[in-house]
Amino acid sequence: MRKNRLYILVIIAFVIGVGYSAFHKWSVDHVLYITGGVDHPIGCVSCHVYPERDGLLANMLNEDYLSPLNAAVSEDGSRLYVIAQDADLLIEVDLNSREVLSNTKVGRRPHSAILTRDQKTAVVTNQWANNIYFIDLKTKEITDSVPVGGGPAGMDLSVDGNLLYVANTYTNNISVVDLRTKQEIRRLHGGNYPTSVAASPNDDFVFVASQRTVPIEFRTEPMTEVTILNASSQRVSERKYFNSAHIMENVTVSPSGDMAVATMVRPKNNVPSAQIERGWMINHGIGVILKDGRTAQLLLDEPNAFYPDPYDIVIHPDGKRAYVSHSGVDMVSVVNLDRIRSLLADASEEELKLYANHLGMSGEFVVDRIKTGSNPKGLAMSADGKFVYVVERMEDRVSVIDTDVSEIVNTIDLGGPSRISYTRRGGQLFSNAGHTFHNQYSCYTCHPDGHEDGLTYDLTGSGRNLANVQTLRDLYGTAPFKWIGTNQSVYKQCGMRFSRFVTRTESFSPEDLDAVVAYIMRELTHPPNIHRLPNGALTEAQQRGKAIYERTVTNDGREIPEKDRCTTCHNGPNYSNFQMADVGTNKENEDESLFDSPNLNNIYESAPYLHDGSAATLEEIWTKFNDHDTHGYANDMTKDQLNDLVEYLKSLSAERYYKKDLNYKINKGQL
């Protein structure tokens, strides 16, 4: 009996040993596959816990952060109102005691706040709810809600305080709201992804800056619009284009109205990325519109030091200094505007062209750099000019700069979680350029708001095999990655090759890589699809387009081969089978390649299209690049049918976005 037991124990031990050995071998092979053979001490939790959006462990490991974005300071300097984007809150701060006084729940994904002239009401833009809230600052109650365009973001008041101008990011327009009637009285077309508004104190013009380039010809310079409205007529008076600039996140006007200044990024996406040294990939600075109508671009970078992702800009009441937050390098630059005035006063067109690319020019007008906490975003200047409040998004904190000494003299804790979770650490890394040579750019620079910047880059530095930047939103479960599908995981995508070709410096440490991947996979999500009716129903045109998308026969009744149907490659919740395909879009000078079928959720946001960005619109995929029906059987379609198909494509969005839980919280992993 005893002997039998011993045999049983030996057999059990053997089975466990063999089982463990087999499991170990399988897991090592699995990890090698996932990381693409890159030496990375990846554990099970790296993929199976940290990036998870839901589940007990994921919820235990993660926190619900506030992620403040913008702020408004009261005229008397006693209160600061901070938008907490991830928590859907308006936070009221007592600036004397530096304590949070109240948290008011606002709409989904709030963006900005502004106080009415009587200082009694805060107006908040709810970017994912397509409306603005009016909040009584005494009772903290929402007194009114006004629907505006899609994705309302930055705003400003007319000089008399009766009108509110709102930049609607997702629908590319500007709402003019009469604050007396709480009615939207106009909606004007404005650039591509307009995000901020600044009204001139002279009551003559209103400036609206945009994030994305307007549609351009393939392989030409991006051009980003600053829309200028006539303040009297509330009509567009002029559209100024900043060549080779984009991500103009915020704009402001000097107190005398002699210049409007916007933050901007200057990508070198057309330049072969042979090197990163000396600003060969991306520069950062400000765009200026002078009273005489001339425009100028000035870099805030230096030859061996870059100040990426300039986000907000405020001007001191004396009009002599501007403060620019660099969210990618945790810094605020102090800019001497008088030096800029004299620099630009007599500058010729040739000189202005030179200044826009001159990395040494900042030495002429940047007078200070102030180190801040992680990811400084919105700035608010006190009315007396004594303080600048810096909203530190990834710290859940506000820092206070004393403008007399150009130093941070206080910080205000907004009450977010004190623990930095793995995912939060990933967010900090994602938005920081410290992992790029000379801090030239962060992940955010090409993926603003986790999306893409609408540009095509020549990362191989050879003039061929171009890469259209892809969105990072909702990547979970969409492997493989990269247009040519060679990356099985985001670990590989952001690993060693990434540092060789993109960041050109030391690659992420294994821990940092885990954190960045967790952040990308867990936190970055599409906004609600603005082309989809709130109840998920399709419009008539979209229904007709759906029928075309799902058709199996041609207009003349012939059966469409399965490989040429839309649904063959673009199916499932992400509208992709994640297989490689030849859709005939390889260009002559490119390496022959198959392409990964991209997922199509919120595809309307991702122009231009195709792997190299050669199709400016969805239509062009079939009108210009599908001569032989290699990208779906489409050449029998009428123009109306193509329009319907495109309407349907624009509406594509996973059910989770419009069914039942419209009020999900971003961090709860309910996506």
Partner 1 sequence: MPRRFSSYKLFFIVLLLFGCSKDLPHEGKVIFTRLPVESVSGDRINSIENKYATNMEIAMAFMGEKPEHTEVLTRDFISARAPELSFDGSLLVFSGLKNEEGAWQIWTMDLKSGEIVQVTDSRTNCTDPAWLPNGDITFSKMVTDDHSLKYHALFTIGVDGCCEQRITFQPHEDINASVLHDGRILVASKQVYPESGPYKYLALRPDGTKAEVFHLAHATSGMMDKAFENNEKVFFHEADELTSVKFNRPLHSRERLLTGGQIQVNSIRSFDEQNLLLSLKKPDEKTFGLALLSVEDFSREKSYFSDPEYHILEATEVRERSVPRKLPSRVNSDMSSGYLFSMNADASDIEIEGKTAKVRVLGMNGIIGETAVEEDGSFYLELTSDLPVRFQTVDASGEILRGPSSWMWVRPDERRGCAGCHQDREIAPYNVVPKALESAPFVMIR
Which residues make up the interface to partner 1 (CB under 8 A)? 219, 221-222, 244, 266-272, 274-275, 277-280, 283, 299, 302-305, 354, 357-360, 363, 437-438, 458, 461-464, 496, 499-501, 504-507, 589
CA distance 267 to 161: 37
Side-chain-facing half-sphere of 153: CA atoms under 13 Å: 26
DSSP code per residue over 75-140? TTSSEEEEEETTTTEEEEEETTTTEEEEEEE-SSSEEEEEE-TTSSEEEEEETTTTEEEEEETTT-
Give the nearest distance from C-beta 270 to partner 1 in angstroms.
5
**Taking a C-beta distance cutoff of 8 angstroms, is the pair 283, 304 a contact?**
no
Centre a 10 Å sphere on the Cβ of residue 153 and count the other Cβ atoms it contains: 24
Q: Please, what is the minimum distance in Å from the beta carbon of residue 219 to partner 1?
A: 5
- Of the pair 271, 290, the CB lying nearest partner 1 is at 271
Q: Other C-beta atoms within 10 Å of 35: how many?
A: 23
- Report the nearest approach of partner 1 to the CB of residue 337 (Å): 21
Closest to partner 1 by CB, 437 vs 444, is 437
- Residue carrying structure tokens 């002239």: 117
Three-point CA angle 523, 658, 654, nearest 5°: 65
Closer residue to partner 1 in complex, CB, 266/650: 266
Smallest distance from partner 1 to CB 49, Å? 28
| Complex with partner 1: residue 120 or 278, whichever CB lies closer | 278
Closer Cβ to partner 1, 297 or 602, answer by number: 297
Q: 273 or 423, CB closer to partner 1?
A: 273
Amino acid identity of residue 364, one-letter, is E
Rounded distance between C-alpha atoms, residue 446 and residue 425, angstroms: 19
Question: Taking Cα atoms as reference points, which of 104, 147, 143, 103 lies closest to residue 125?
Answer: 147
Residue 20 CB, shortest distance to partner 1, in Å, is 29
Query: With respect to partner 1, which residue has the nearer C-beta, 122 or 343?
Result: 343
Q: How many CB atoms lie within 10 A of CB 158?
A: 19
At residue 46, φ and ψ (nearest 5 deg) are -55, -40
Q: Which residues pair with 260 in a beta bridge?
A: 253, 289
Instruction: Give me the residue label for tokens 């330049």.
Output: 271
| Length of the chain as a residue count | 671
Residue environment code for 392-428, b if the CB has 16+ CB neighbours within 10 A, otherwise e: bbbbbbbbbbebeebebeebbebbbeeebbbbbbbbb
Find the shortest distance in angstroms from Cβ 283 to partner 1: 5
User: Quick one: tokens of 42?
Assistant: 């990846």
CB of 224 to partner 1, least distance (A): 12
- Supply the minimum distance, in Å, between the C-beta of residue 299 and partner 1: 8
Q: Beta strand pairing status for 456-457 and 407-413?
A: unpaired
Three-class DSSP labels, 258-322: CEEEEEEEEECCCCCCCCCCCCCCEEEEEEEEECCCCEEEEECCECCECCCCEEEEEECCCCCEE
Q: What is the smallest separation between the CB atom of 98 and partner 1, expressed in angstroms?
A: 31
Closer of 130 and 244 to partner 1 (Cβ): 244
Distance CA 375, CA 393 (A): 5
**Nearest to partner 1 of 270, 539 (CB atom):** 270
Is the bond preceding residue 608 a cis peptide, omega within 30 degrees?
Answer: yes
User: Both tokens of residue 168?
Assistant: 């609607």
Write down the least CB distance from residue 344 to partner 1, Å: 18
Which one, 241 or 664, has the nearer CB to partner 1? 241
DSSP 500: I
Of residues 506 and 562, the one with the C-beta less far from partner 1: 506
State the Cα–Cα distance between residues 248 and 226, nearest whole angstrom.
8
What is the closest distance, in whole angstroms, from the C-beta atom of residue 595 to partner 1 in the complex?
22
- Cβ distance to partner 1 smaller for residue 304 or 552: 304
Q: Smallest distance from the beta carbon of 409 to partner 1, in angstroms?
A: 22
Which of 349, 506 has the CB closer to partner 1? 506
Least distance CB 228 / partner 1 (angstroms): 24
